[in-house]
Structure 1
Amino acid sequence: MSINCMKRIVQLVIVLTLAVGPLSILHAASVYKIGGIFSSTGRASFLGDPEKKTMEMMVDKINAAGGIDGHMLEAVIYDSEGDPAKAVSAVNKLIHRDGVIAIVGPSTTPTTLAIVNFVERAKIPLISCAAGIKITSPVKPWVFKTAQSDRLAVSALYEHMQAKSIKKVGIITVSNSFGESGQEQLVSLAGDYGITIVAKESFGAKDTDTTPQLTKLKGASPDAIICWGTNPGPAVVAKNLKQLKINIPLFQSHGVASAKFISLAGEAAENIVLPSGKILVMDQLPADDPQKQILKDYETMYVSKYGGAVSGFGGYAHDAMTLVAEALKASDGDRQKVRNALENIKDHVGVTGRFSFSPEDHNGLTSSAFVMVEIKNQTWNLLTD
């Protein structure tokens, strides 16, 4: 190499260093890429939009603090629009084109179940933000999730009903894997709480009228009706029940635990009870609750950046990113080390609850991750009895 050529290389390095800083050049070669798949648009955007924003916010926060062992993080995020086929397309891009170390999301049970086999084959840790118990049961080595499982949600709901002497219920569930999984848990756990399911109905995710199903449920004379789905369907159920003047208590799943449901259901949301993460009622929690400060910190950070209100759905992405950050430490970006570290995380307090993973449990949450809430005057109220 000629002396002139070497001089030009040295000059180029000096120019780049002055322009972007010496550490930026180093980090550009050692970035940890983290994938994200969320329903950022479409009917499930009330789930995916806060998740996407939260992931980006958490990456910025981690990088501002120096990254992980000096490595900056880069978020590579795709929008599934709530479509399982688009989730598959996205996961293939993340695996084969983007070379990510881990993936956060998807937002829904159907989109998550569509991609689990891909991440298992590629051996990439996936931290889903969806609730269906089938995501992590049976355990899949590379698949974890931060959303409370529907089995825990059903247990919380039935425990509340048992205390209220509710013995006969009718159920109406959305016709997708989230609803099907919820129905399975509702049926399998009913006997444990002395509850009898007297009728079962279903509705399509895009249905705009459920009056025939609700009329059938009324005919079975239940003490209460349980709706299991995600917006907008459950809001349609609530409105139709009010229009039909069916005076039977309506309970919902944690799939509607956000301000969006109240907005969609309007006056029909009044008096509805459901299991929820603590984020909706954080100000009503006792001062010694171990999650309270984390919830407040998340709310402050999110609202100051994006405005609006926080939700438990964004909280799933918050927890996924803090778990990934913890697992990345001392991993040198090795996926197997990240997976192993995730599986051994204990007593990690997050927005959703306290996580303790194990080879037998890749959700890591207990019933303490849920509280029962009631909608009163268009807002959430913590139930304590």
Structure 2
Amino acid sequence: MKRPLLTAATVACAMTTGAMSLNVYANEEYKLGLVTFLSGAASGPFGIPAKNAADLVIDAINDGTLPAPIEGKGIDGRMITPVYVDEAGGATKQTSEFRNLVERDGVDAVVGYISSGDCLAIPAVAEELKMLTVLFDCGTPRVFEEADYEYVFRTHSTASMDNIAAARYVHENIPDLESVAGINQNYSWGHDSWRDFTETLKVLRGGDLEITTEQFPKLFAGQYGAEISALQVNCVNR
């Protein structure tokens, strides 16, 4: 639960300093759209802690109690009013919710998105609407690998470094490795992670690597007996 807390705090501070250059006026409201999981399986470990962190930091910004070098109350004197959106529902729903934040609610900026699938869908809409958007948690590296954006930023590292490091560790510590099998979640983050891991191993080993099985169970399925059995069968057959 620490990572969402620290990430949300970092984002809020970044929004405070980054928005200083905007043409704003004292005593006006600064409406900040905040998108995180408020329901569903991801709300407990990710979404609710992120919301709690955002509330904590927004209160500190509005009260002027953030540590140096942040000074003053609000954003150039404008008190932040959060507008929360539940991230549950998938990418199509989130693009519609994003438009509502901009066109109906009139937010000044948007911070959010835990799901890698949502992070891949939102930037194009943010660019179309010219809305400052900060992606604060999603792990997929593809957001900026596949496109360039003027209004979209991220404050969180991608999963690539973790999976490349894991592949290097395996390569260095299992010199006689001939094959690998994997089980990952069946959405953008899981597929990207497995790709980075296996492709790095292939490069390190000169292409001499067999992938015996790739299992991608449904996200939050809760039961993985079939996938574990497939991994065990492959191990026995080896």
Superposition TM-score tier, normalisation by shorter sequence:
0.7 to 0.9
Secondary structure of 2:157 counterpart: coil
Counterparts of 1:53 and 1:89, CA distance in 2: 25
| Alignment match, 2:140 | 132
| Alignment match, 1:68 | 75
Residue 172 of structure 1: CA displacement? Answer: 1.2
Residue 206 of structure 1: CA displacement? Answer: 4.1
**Aligned partner (choices 203, 210, 214) of residue 200 of structure 1:** 214
| Alignment match, 2:12 | none
Secondary structure of 1:42 counterpart: coil
Residue 166 (structure 2) pairs with residue 157 (structure 1): yes
Secondary structure of 2:150 counterpart: coil
Counterparts of 2:55 and 2:92, CA distance in 1: 24
The letter of the residue matching 2:204 is Y
CA offsets 1:213-234 (integer angstroms, 9 cap, x no match):
2222233339xxxxxxxxxxxx
The letter of the residue matching 1:219 is V
Residue 155 of structure 1: CA displacement? Answer: 1.3
| Alignment match, 1:186 | 197
The letter of the residue matching 1:92 is R
**Aligned partner (choices 157, 169, 172) of residue 183 of structure 2:** 172
1:35–1:102 contact (8 Å) kept in structure 2: yes
| Alignment match, 2:3 | none
CA offsets 1:197-218 (integer angstroms, 9 cap, x no match):
3321111114233222222223
Structure 2 residue runs of 5 or longer lacking an equivalent are 1-25, 65-72
CA offsets 1:269-307 (integer angstroms, 9 cap, x no match):
xxxxxxxxxxxxxxxxxxxxxxxxxxxxxxxxxxxxxxx
Counterparts of 2:50 and 2:222, CA distance in 1: 26
| Alignment match, 2:154 | 145
**TM-score, length-scaled by structure 1:** 0.47
CA offsets 1:115-171 (integer angstroms, 9 cap, x no match):
222111011122112111112222322222223212112112223323432633211
| Alignment match, 2:235 | 221
1:136–1:145 contact (8 Å) kept in structure 2: no
2:134–2:152 contact (8 Å) kept in structure 1: yes
2:110–2:134 contact (8 Å) kept in structure 1: yes
1:40–1:47 contact (8 Å) kept in structure 2: no
Counterparts of 1:192 and 1:202, CA distance in 2: 23
Please show how residues 224-373 of structure 1 align to structure 2 within 5 Å. none
CA offsets 1:163-193 (integer angstroms, 9 cap, x no match):
4326332111222222222232223222233
Counterparts of 1:200 and 1:116, CA distance in 2: 30
Counterparts of 1:99 and 1:188, CA distance in 2: 44
Please show how residues 9-28 of structure 1 align to structure 2 within 5 Å. 27=27
| Alignment match, 1:38 | 36
Residue 109 of structure 1: CA displacement? Answer: 0.8
2:171–2:201 contact (8 Å) kept in structure 1: no
Secondary structure of 1:220 counterpart: helix
Structure 1 residue runs of 5 or longer lacking an equivalent are 1-25, 223-385
Counterparts of 1:90 and 1:53, CA distance in 2: 21
The letter of the residue matching 2:165 is A
The letter of the residue matching 2:155 is T
| Alignment match, 1:47 | 46
CA offsets 1:245-290 (integer angstroms, 9 cap, x no match):
xxxxxxxxxxxxxxxxxxxxxxxxxxxxxxxxxxxxxxxxxxxxxx
State the identity %: 23
Counterparts of 1:171 and 1:142, CA distance in 2: 36
**TM-score, length-scaled by structure 2:** 0.73
Alignment RMSD (CA, Å): 2.2
The letter of the residue matching 1:200 is E
The letter of the residue matching 1:36 is L
Counterparts of 1:187 and 1:163, CA distance in 2: 15
2:167–2:198 contact (8 Å) kept in structure 1: no
Counterparts of 1:68 and 1:123, CA distance in 2: 20
The letter of the residue matching 1:48 is G
Counterparts of 1:205 and 1:103, CA distance in 2: 26
Aligned length: 195
Secondary structure of 1:33 counterpart: strand
Secondary structure of 2:184 counterpart: strand
